[in-house]
């Protein structure tokens, strides 16, 4: 057969197939290598041993994020003091307040502040660190015992002047050198008050035996790993040259924040942007935050009854109340996660989601464009009622000049302000008018009907307001609040905790049911308010909480069950409780530089029958916070029960009574300071003074049953029958039909009749 001229020659055909063969081999090799690479995963436990590597390891790949981070509030949270970081005037400047002059100067290239020291004398203190960047900068020095203290003069970055950050309850008082509020005291101590939120991977390292600190950190500021967790595994995977991220650990980050739920993101920010108590040291991002911290609820003194911020509570507690949070809004919807700046100016930030034609109009905000109102108190957009934040993000000023916005995004309710005394944003600007005036305008604009989302808030506001005053009307409102499943969890938990003051069956049933609630804040509140349960019920219900997935719940349950240790035949329960008590004890070790840690451990050891240990912790509490009222109460009780020295007990009572007298001046109108002082005076056999204090307590707290009971009993002891019967009528008003009240009335009547016969 003759070969066609067009047929490929054998040699040519083999050459044409060679590239395909090489490609196939290459692809086969590539897929083989890819399969091998996929299998080269780090062991499952690798993340447990992850370490902090520092942001220099991150910058290599994440230059854009590093550029945004540079100069941010996180970047400049704390810095070594030098010419580049110090903003204040140290050219022989002086600042005088209430007769005390502080001087700022340089010497040998270093920065100093001449200030009144803990001994009342003036000394030169070397400034080693700056703290913060805007609107104020503070300065810190270190003492030989490792204490780092915030110096008394701060720099106003905006107005470029020195000023003093004053305690909010005594803003116009001179702070003496031996006062705990002095800059050398606990309130201005960096190690325990500030450090863990201004540096990365901080370890407080307090030594109780020597009363010294050895605090250290991985990075001086709030760096990458503060939010993403230790990065050694991430860097190892990135530098391995592999085709894939790790099959077991993904990017190798403890806290991967791309496209996460709003809850996870907010709980990443919460450890620092919340008012909370530390319950377990060494939190790392990515761990469950309620395993390390217990957040404050909407407690009196921290939040107003309507949930608006009052004390310095940061952001978490207000934001989780908001409708925004429950609609899955996240922090980074408004704030850039690395620069922390707002994404858009003014109302553009809100109109990302809220239609401008509906909300950014005169028909909605009812305020024409115009200049700021003089005397307004609502922050950066003062007086400009066209701005969303002016009405929906009221401002509180902390540290004298630091305006911070409430993040509950609430609707102003001046009608409730007129009735209950709660704040509202209308009168933040219109300071010359009262709440009734503002409420009238709201009615003119919107009629009597309020938006549906304010209905639940109104019930909760009324409930919390009434319960804080122990009014009987509070109980049904609290029940309604707890029962409202769509109500924010922190509001329901607050209502549940307040229900502990109402001993009714419905209240008790709700608190028991809350132990099974899906919201951990509800379970935490339920463990806090479980006092009224019987032993069998307490054990049956609380034993489940000892295995709760949240540490804060487990510790709360252990604290409730301490009294039952060794009193059951259930070996498993006893073992679980023993372990939980051990965890609770360890959790308090972190706070042994603070009075709260010793008080908690003192109470624990006393309940376990370890009286000597309890007394030692309570002595430490008094030593650490000798200025604080309340620290001596349990110590006095234990010393009395243990047959302690009578002279010491009397001295402790007299000092506590003295401190409570001071508190009455600082907190006029508060009934419990008078009640507590009356009890001490009675124990000191100063009966007439005690009677006067009980009467004052009843006057200031007319809806507190305990005040009237104490007044009735002391009047009975003094045979002041008329006053006793008058006080008894108030008890009947508060608890009509109570057998205890009826029995006491009969007893007093019998004494009166017996006296008349004589």
Q: What is the mean pLDDT of residues 731-749?
A: 91
Residue 685 confidence (pLDDT): 94
Residue 376 confidence (pLDDT): 42
Residue 14 confidence class, pLDDT cut points 50, 70, 90: low
Alpha-carbon gap, residue 63 to 579, rounded angstroms: 47
Q: Residue 502 in contact with residue 474, Cβ under 8 Å?
A: yes
Residue 403 confidence class, pLDDT cut points 50, 70, 90: very high
Phi, psi of 192 (to 5 degrees): -110, -20
Residue 250 confidence (pLDDT): 72
Give CB contacts under 8 A, 24+ apart, made by 320-326. Answer: 320/266, 320/488, 320/489, 320/490, 321/408, 321/410, 321/488, 321/490, 321/491, 322/407, 322/408, 322/409, 322/410, 322/488, 323/409, 323/453, 324/409, 325/262, 325/266, 325/488, 326/488
**pLDDT higher at 648 or 253:** 648
Residue 754 confidence class, pLDDT cut points 50, 70, 90: confident
Alpha-carbon gap, residue 578 to 574, rounded angstroms: 6
Q: What is the mean pLDDT of residues 518-533?
A: 87
Res. 10: pLDDT tops 60 = no
Looking at the DSSP bridge assignments, the partners of residue 405 are: 395
Residue 308 confidence class, pLDDT cut points 50, 70, 90: very high
Q: What is the mean pLDDT of residues 395-406?
A: 95
Residue 404 confidence class, pLDDT cut points 50, 70, 90: very high
Structure tokens at 733: 């008003």
Give the whole-number percent of the chain exceeding pLDDT 90: 68
Alpha-carbon gap, residue 261 to 259, rounded angstroms: 7
Looking at the DSSP bridge assignments, the partners of residue 342 are: 335
Residue 39 exposed, middle or buried by CB count within 10 Å (0-12, 13-18, 19+): exposed
Alpha-carbon gap, residue 38 to 673, rounded angstroms: 68
Looking at the DSSP bridge assignments, the partners of residue 207 are: 212
Backbone conformation region of residue 182, classed left if phi is above 0, alpha if psi is from -120 to 50, else beta = beta
Residue 455 confidence (pLDDT): 65
Residue 586 confidence (pLDDT): 86
40's CB contacts (< 8 A; 6+ apart) are: 240, 242
Q: What is the mean pLDDT of residues 567-587?
A: 90
DSSP per-residue string spanning 216-244: B-SBSS--HHHHH---HHHHHHHTTT-SS
Alpha-carbon gap, residue 31 to 18, rounded angstroms: 20
Alpha-carbon gap, residue 191 to 202, rounded angstroms: 9
Helix (H, G, I), strand (E, B) or coil at 601: helix
Q: Which of 140-144, 503-507, 682-686 has the lowest mean pLDDT?
A: 503-507
Residue 255 confidence class, pLDDT cut points 50, 70, 90: confident
Res. 50: pLDDT tops 50 = yes
Residue 1 confidence (pLDDT): 45
Looking at the DSSP bridge assignments, the partners of residue 397 are: 403
Domains of the chain: 50-67+225-256 (no CATH), 76-222 (no CATH), 263-451 (no CATH), 452-514 (no CATH), 645-758 (1.25.40.10)
Structure tokens at 10: 């054998």
Phi, psi of 129 (to 5 degrees): -140, 150
Residue 199 confidence (pLDDT): 96
Res. 702: pLDDT tops 90 = yes
Residue 375 confidence class, pLDDT cut points 50, 70, 90: very low
Residue 200 confidence (pLDDT): 96
Burial of 389-398, coded b for 16+ CB within 10 Å and e otherwise, reads: bbbbbbbbeb
Res. 534: pLDDT tops 90 = no
587's CB contacts (< 8 A; 6+ apart) are: 279, 280, 551, 555
679's CB contacts (< 8 A; 6+ apart) are: 690, 710
Q: What is the pLDDT of residues 165-211, one digit of tens each?
A: 998 877 888 888 888 889 999 999 999 999 999 999 999 999 998 99
Looking at the DSSP bridge assignments, the partners of residue 396 are: 404
Alpha-carbon gap, residue 631 to 676, rounded angstroms: 13
DSSP per-residue string spanning 624-667: HTTT-TTTTHHHHHHHHHTT--HHHHHHHHHHHHHHHHHHHHHS
Structure tokens at 235: 């860097």
Q: Measuring CA to CA, how many Å separate 102 from each of 97, 135, 516, 625, 639?
A: 8, 21, 56, 27, 45
**pLDDT higher at 2 or 265:** 265
Tokens 């070397």 sit on residue: 126
Residue 298 confidence (pLDDT): 97
Q: Residue 471 in contact with residue 428, Cβ under 8 Å?
A: no
Residue 370 confidence (pLDDT): 63
Q: What is the mean pLDDT of residues 694-713?
A: 94
Average pLDDT, the chain: 89
Residue 381 confidence class, pLDDT cut points 50, 70, 90: very low
Res. 379: pLDDT tops 90 = no
Alpha-carbon gap, residue 704 to 206, rounded angstroms: 41
**pLDDT higher at 86 or 174:** 86
Residue 33 confidence class, pLDDT cut points 50, 70, 90: low
Q: Which of 405-409, 426-430, 530-534 has the lowest mean pLDDT?
A: 530-534
Q: What is the pLDDT of residues 362-373, one digit of tens each?
A: 889 888 876 554
653's CB contacts (< 8 A; 6+ apart) are: 632, 636, 680, 683, 684
Burial of 7-23, coded b for 16+ CB within 10 Å and e otherwise, reads: eeeeeeeeeeeeeeeee
Res. 621: pLDDT tops 50 = yes
Res. 719: pLDDT tops 70 = yes
Residue 347 confidence (pLDDT): 93
Provide the total of helices (H) and of strands (E) in the chain, helices listed first: 32, 16
């Amino acid at each position: 057969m003759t070969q066609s001229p067009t047929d490929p020659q054998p040699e040519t055909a083999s050459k044409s197939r060679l590239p395909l063969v090489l490609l196939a081999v290459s692809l086969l090799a590539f897929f083989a290598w890819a399969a091998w690479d996929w299998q080269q995963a780090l062991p499952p436990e690798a993340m447990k041993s992850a370490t902090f590597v520092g942001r220099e390891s991150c910058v290599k790949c994440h230059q854009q994020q590093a550029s945004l981070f540079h100069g941010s509030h996180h970047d400049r949270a704390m810095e070594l003091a030098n010419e580049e970081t110090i903003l204040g005037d140290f050219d022989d400047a002086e600042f005088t307040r209430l007769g005390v002059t502080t001087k700022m100067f340089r010497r040998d290239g270093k920065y100093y502040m001449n200030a009144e020291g803990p001994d009342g004398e003036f000394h030169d203190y070397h400034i080693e660190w700056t703290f913060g960047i805007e609107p104020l900068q503070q300065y810190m020095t270190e003492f030989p015992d490792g204490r780092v203290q915030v110096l008394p003069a701060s720099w106003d970055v905006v107005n470029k002047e020195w000023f003093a950050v004053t305690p909010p309850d005594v803003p116009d008082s001179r702070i003496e050198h031996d006062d705990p509020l002095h800059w050398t005291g606990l309130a201005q101590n960096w190690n325990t008050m500030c450090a863990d939120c201004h540096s990365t991977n901080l370890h407080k390292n307090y030594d109780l035996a020597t009363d010294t600190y050895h605090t250290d950190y991985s990075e001086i500021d709030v760096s990458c790993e503060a939010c993403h967790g230790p990065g050694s595994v991430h860097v190892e995977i990135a530098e391995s040259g592999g085709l894939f991220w790790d099959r077991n650990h993904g990017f190798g980050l403890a806290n991967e924040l791309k496209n996460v739920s709003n809850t996870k993101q907010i709980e990443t920010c919460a450890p620092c942007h919340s008012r909370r108590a530390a319950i377990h040291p060494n939190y790392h991002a990515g761990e469950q935050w309620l395993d390390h911290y217990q957040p404050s609820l909407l407690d009196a003194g921290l939040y107003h009854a309507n949930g608006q911020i009052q004390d310095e509570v940061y952001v978490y507690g207000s934001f989780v109340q908001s409708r925004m949070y429950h609609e899955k809004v996240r922090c980074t919807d408004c704030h850039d996660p690395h620069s922390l700046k707002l994404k858009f100016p003014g109302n553009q930030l809100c109109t990302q989601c809220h239609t401008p034609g509906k909300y950014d109009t005169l028909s909605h905000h009812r305020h024409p464009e115009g200049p700021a109102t003089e005397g307004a108190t609502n922050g950066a957009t003062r007086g400009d009622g066209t701005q969303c934040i002016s009405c929906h993000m009221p401002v509180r000023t902390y540290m004298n000049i630091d305006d911070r916005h409430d993040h509950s995004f609430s609707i102003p309710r001046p009608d409730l302000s007129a009735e209950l005394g709660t704040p509202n944003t209308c009168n933040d600007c219109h300071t010359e008018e009262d709440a009734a005036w503002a409420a009238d305008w709201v009615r003119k604009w919107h009629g009597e009907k309020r938006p549906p989302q304010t209905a639940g808030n109104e019930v909760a506001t009324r409930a919390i307001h009434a319960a804080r005053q122990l009014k009987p009307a509070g109980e049904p409102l609290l029940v309604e609040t707890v029962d409202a499943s769509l109500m924010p969890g922190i509001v329901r938990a607050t209502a549940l905790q307040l229900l502990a003051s109402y001993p009714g069956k419905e209240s008790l049933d709700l608190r028991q049911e809350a132990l099974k609630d899906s919201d951990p804040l509800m379970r935490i509140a339920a463990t806090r308010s479980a006092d009224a349960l019987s032993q069998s019920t307490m054990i049956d219900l609380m034993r489940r909480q000892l295995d709760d997935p949240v540490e804060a719940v487990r510790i709360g349950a252990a604290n409730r069950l301490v009294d039952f240790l060794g009193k059951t035949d259930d070996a498993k329960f006893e073992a679980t409780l023993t372990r939980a008590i051990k965890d609770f004890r360890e959790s308090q070790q972190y706070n042994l530089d603070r009075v709260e840690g010793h008080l908690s451990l003192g109470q624990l050891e006393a309940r376990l029958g370890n009286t000597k240990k309890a007394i030692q912790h309570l002595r430490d509490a008094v030593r650490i916070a000798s200025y604080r009222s309340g620290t001596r109460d349990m110590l006095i009780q234990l010393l009395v029960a243990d047959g302690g020295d009578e002279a010491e007990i009397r001295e402790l009572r007299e000092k506590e009574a003295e401190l409570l007298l001071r508190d009455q001046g600082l907190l006029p109108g508060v009934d419990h300071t008078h009640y507590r002082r009356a009890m001490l005076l009675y124990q000191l056999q100063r009966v007439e003074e005690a009677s006067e204090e009980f009467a004052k307590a009843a006057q200031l707290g007319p809806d507190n049953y305990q005040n009237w009971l104490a007044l009735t009993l002391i009047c009975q002891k003094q045979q002041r029958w008329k006053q006793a019967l008058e006080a008894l009528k108030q008890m009947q008003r508060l608890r009509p039909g109570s057998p205890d009240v009826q029995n006491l009335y009969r007893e007093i009547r019998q004494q009166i009749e017996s006296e008349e016969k004589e």
